[in-house]
Amino acid sequence: MKYNILIGGSAGQGMDTWAVLLEKIIKRKGYYVFSNKDYMSRIRGGHNFIQIRFGTEPISSHDPKLDIIVALDKNTIDFHTERLQENGVIICDQAIEIEDKRVLALPLKELAKELGNPKVTGTICMGVVLKLFGMNFDRVEEVFEEKFEKETTELNFKAFQEGYEYAQQQFHIEKGGEDQHILINSNQAIALGALAGGVGFFAGYPMTPFTSIMTYMSEKQEDAKMVVEQVEDEIAAINMAIGTSYAGVRSMTGTSGGGFSLMTEALGLAGIMENPLVVANIQRPGPATGLPTRTEQSDLSFILTASHGEIPRMVLAVRHAEDAFYQTVRALNLADKYQMLVIILGDQYLSDATETIKPYDFSKVTIERHIAGKESFKDGEYKRYQPTEDGLSPRIIPGKHRGQIVLTDSDEHNEYGHITESAEVRTAMMDKRMKRMDALKEELIEPDYFGVDHPENLLIGWGSMYGPLKEAVALLQEEGISVGTLVFGDIYPLPTKLLEKYSTTAKQILNVEQNYTGQLAKLIRQETGIHCSKSILKYDGRQMCSHEIYSRVKGEVL
Amino acid sequence: MLDVKMYDSKDEIAWCPGCGNFSILPALKQALAELELEPHEVVVASGIGQAAKMPHYITVNGFNGLHGRAVPPATGIKIANKDLNVIIHSGDGDTYGEGGNHLIHGIRRNVNIAHFVHQNQIYGLTKGQGSPTTTKGQKTTMQFDGVRMDQLRPLALAVSLDCSFVARSFSGDKEHLVSIMKQAITHKGYALVDILQPCVIFNHVNTYKWYKENSYYLDESYDPTDKVAAFQKALEWEEGVPLGVIYKNEKPTYIDGVPYLNEGPPLVDRKWDPKEAEKFMEDFR
Ligand SMILES: Cc1ncc(C[n+]2csc(CCOP(=O)(O)OP(=O)(O)O)c2C)c(N)n1
Ligand SMILES: [Mg+2]
């Protein structure tokens, strides 16, 4: 059982606030929830909407078919009614003129006025929605109480009840189970992972859709006794984080496309200094300012070589909110272990998509710093770039050892960190830095696979395509199509075992990506020689859903 | 006083013979020795340029980063470990050109750092192009008809930003330089010091002789706490280049404003168990 609610209106109508409350109430009633947002880069006006899907089975992406439309304006009805089911309901104010037997026109504005606050329109709608599903009052008041002061809670609860009275039950739904989940989006998950993983310093500059990572950490900084600093630009952000990392603090920065472009020179700095650093890039459609509030997976090719020169790097894409937490923790540990740059890729879709997931298991989180002590001094002398077999030199914290200093440099340098132009030293240092990639390759995580054992049609994707691909494969399988999908989280270095296994028997390999050039397919070709026979690509700033993949696979491929 | 020899570096110095930088290096060693700061307690951070090679020529912790980007990592290092004495050595191009934005906000952030600018009014390492402080009209290896832009008054910029400590010294007067360096290092807050430093290869206008003849020392009657007077003083150049402490404003530093950093141990010593973050998960129940 799954239902889908769309709430639409213009920016500034406050629907963000109450949609979050509605999601939370449904979740507390023991249902699985998945919600996503579609909004414009403006503060007032325009058309924004939120879709809340819920049900009694896990849900991993959004769906086009709607059961309820809550229309705070006429646009919402014009834009979305096409997707409404036959037995669906449109909730709107009676002032909106519309011919559709599915309309439930209510005196929303008047009711709100009577209650003394136009802002409660949304809460009235919330009451209507719950009644349509025949849900009771359980958990409603507590959710209001957690969000509002006493007076506002009372007002909202009253508004909620008014709405509830105005409707009749329309859908006969199964009861929810016990609420054992958390409801979280991937940006919050990255932030929580960073906090759990012991990040002591985070620097950044606001940019959608990255900002909410920093906002969450900033809110918790005092409690966690760590520091979040909003700096003058992204160049400062990354250079400052490299400074704190050099000084021994686990450090992280983050941004979105344009800011990442500004950071590129310093990615190389982290590389040549062998400074651990985690950078989160939450993608949005480029180039330049692009579509600031929309989604795309078009930074992969860029990120694989971003920064001049050659450095060791790891790139991993978060696939969903559960993954985002654990991958962030892992990124931090790998950065410290290999004294290198780890880039986390997210995107707007995931950053605004909340999911019900199992609570994180904090006992599984470890902090592995790999900081060396006195034992690392050879003949009583510390050398930051001491040659070793695996290319990793012991890293100590400057200031902690009397008589020992730590010198690091952006120029090519010798084992002491002093500038050199020696051909031999240069070669040795390049080898030293790049060698760690071999060890890293041994601990990659293979992509997730869903589908039949020997698929004739293999769909390949990465990051946020996880949910839509997983559901699309289920839809195709229902029709007896021999299909499977590999969804990459670790992307660079590219894990190849499962790819090789499934690609040998597949008759067709299709890459499904939110970009124009098929960037994952390109990487796969480069690393393995495996060619994708066809691409399913989208670059309009809106995330593909499972139905879209399903129909494009059937229409364009089969 | 510590032995200045303890700061000696074995690295071969790549400055040009006769360069003013050769006088700044011993002054720094002298200042550190007199302040009894041991090598492990000090970090010299820099960007890129001739001046920015300083971390290699002195045995203290060193961070030789990117051109124009000395301020952010130096800021980070101090935030990470408030027990370290963080000193920036970089050029006028590095500080006022490529890194101008960081300087502005570094001053606003007021982290306790001493920032020593080797002011040779030219891009030395890239062979003599105009810098933000090159005199208007001066011909350079790039500006064949002379620099077209107005000359920056960096110290006036600093005073306008209410920089906590603003001073100027001269590489040709070691005693003065050591004294100013010591004041800047011990000052609590962002301390910007412009150090006149002749570039003997590329700046044939602002020579050792020119600096000597065109500078003068601020005397005891000068009050560095008067902001408006300091701004006027910081604008002076053609009529004579003032040397000494131009502006001083003791105010809370960045770390003073973060109680748990101020009262607690240095950030680098923070103990953290992942389980401590478990409570944050309640936000998502
Ligand atoms: C991003 C970047 N741009 C340009 C350069 C080239 N560059 C190196 S040093 C320098 C200017 C140096 O002038 P200054 O900072 O005054 O130092 P000086 O050599 O005079 O001591 C330039 C332009 C660089 N290394 N990096
Ligand atoms: Mg210069």
The per-residue pLDDT for A13 is 84
Element (H, E) at A270: helix A257-273
Copy the structure tokens of residue A43.
């503060």
The per-residue pLDDT for A493 is 98
A246 and A311 inside one domain = yes
Element (H, E) at A322: helix A321-338
A267 and A282 inside one domain = yes
| Average confidence (pLDDT) over B202-224 | 97
A339 and A194 inside one domain = yes
- What are residue A447's phi and psi, to 5 degrees? -65, 160
Interface test with B, best of A20, A190, A244 (most B CBs within 10 A): A244
Looking at residue A95, its amino acid is: A
A346, A310 Cβ separation under 8 angstroms = no
The per-residue pLDDT for A22 is 97
Q: Residue B237's domain spans which residues?
A: 4-284
The per-residue pLDDT for A12 is 84
Closest atom, ligand 1, to C-alpha of B92:
16
Angle between helices A234-246 and A257-273 (to 10 degrees): 30
Residue A422 lies in a domain: yes
Query: Which residues from chain A sit within 8 angstroms of residue B39, using beta carbons?
Result: 403, 405
Which chain B residues in 173-202 lie under 8 Å from chain A, judged by CB atoms? Answer: none
Select from B48, B55, B76 the Cβ nearest to the Cβ of A247.
Answer: B76
Least confident of A32-46, A183-197, B152-166, B174-188: A32-46
Residue A333 lies in a domain: yes
The per-residue pLDDT for B243 is 98
* In chain B, % of residues over pLDDT 70: 100
**In chain B, how many domains are there?**
1
Residue A178 lies in a domain: no
The per-residue pLDDT for A447 is 98
* In chain B, % of residues over pLDDT 90: 100
Residue B92 Cβ inside 6 Å of ligand 1? The answer reads yes
Q: How far apart are CA A517 and CA A495, in angstroms?
A: 21
Q: Residue A409's domain spans which residues?
A: 371-443
Residue A413 lies in a domain: yes
Q: How far apart are CA A35 and CA A464, in angstroms?
A: 14
Query: Which residues from chain A sit within 8 angstroms of residue B55, using beta carbons?
Result: 407, 409
Q: Is residue B126 very low, low, confident or very high in pLDDT (cuts 50, 70, 90)?
A: very high
Residue A171 lies in a domain: no
A284 and A258 inside one domain = yes
For residue B150, give how far its alpha carbon lies from the nearest alpha carbon of chain A (Å): 25
- What are residue A11's phi and psi, to 5 degrees? -60, 145
Q: Is the dihedral of CA B264, B265, B268, B271 positive or negative?
A: negative
The per-residue pLDDT for A94 is 95
What stretches of chain B show up as alpha helix (H) in DSSP?
A: 21-34, 54-57, 71-80, 92, 100-109, 154-160, 174-186, 208-214, 227-235, 259-263
**What residues have CB less than 8 Å from A35, skipping those under 6 apart?**
A19, A23, A50, A51, A52, A53, A353, A354
A436 and A455 inside one domain = no
- Give average pLDDT by consecutive 10-residue segment, chain A, 558 residues: 96 88 97 95 90 97 97 95 96 94 95 92 96 96 95 95 95 95 98 98 98 98 98 98 98 98 98 98 98 97 98 98 98 98 98 98 97 91 96 98 98 98 98 98 98 97 98 97 98 98 96 98 98 97 97 92
Angle between helices A211-224 and A186-196 (to 10 degrees): 30
A217 and A344 inside one domain = yes
**Ligand found nearest the CA of B95:** 1
A352 and A377 inside one domain = no
B194: CATH:
3.40.50.970
Angle between helices A519-528 and A497-505 (to 10 degrees): 90
A289: CATH:
3.40.50.970
Residue A75 lies in a domain: yes
A375 and A524 inside one domain = no
A404 and A438 inside one domain = yes
A259 and A399 inside one domain = no
Q: Residue B221 CB: number of other CB atoms within 10 A?
A: 5
The per-residue pLDDT for A549 is 98
Residue A328 lies in a domain: yes
The per-residue pLDDT for A14 is 82
Q: Is the dihedral of CA A58, A63, A68, A73 positive or negative?
A: positive
Residue B255 Cβ inside 6 Å of ligand 1? The answer reads no
A214 and A246 inside one domain = yes
Taking ligand 2, which is a single-atom ion, which protein residues have CB atoms under 5 Å away? Answer: B 91-93, 120, 124
**In chain A, how many domains are there?**
4
What is the Cα B184 distance to its own chain's centre? 9
Long-range contacts of B16-20 (CB under 8 A, 24+ apart): B16/B50, B16/B200, B16/B201, B17/B200, B18/B200, B19/B50, B19/B197, B19/B198, B19/B199, B19/B200, B19/B201, B20/B118, B20/B120, B20/B171, B20/B172, B20/B196, B20/B197, B20/B198, B20/B199, B20/B200, B20/B208
A386 and A405 inside one domain = yes
**Ligand found nearest the CA of B91:** 1
Instruction: Flag if A235 and B280 touch (Cβ within 8 Å).
Output: no
**What residues have CB less than 8 Å from A154, skipping those under 6 apart?**
none
Residue A175 lies in a domain: no
pLDDT in tens, B79-101: 999 999 999 999 999 999 999 99
Residue B93 Cβ inside 6 Å of ligand 1? The answer reads yes
ipTM exceeding cut-off 0.95 for this assembly = yes
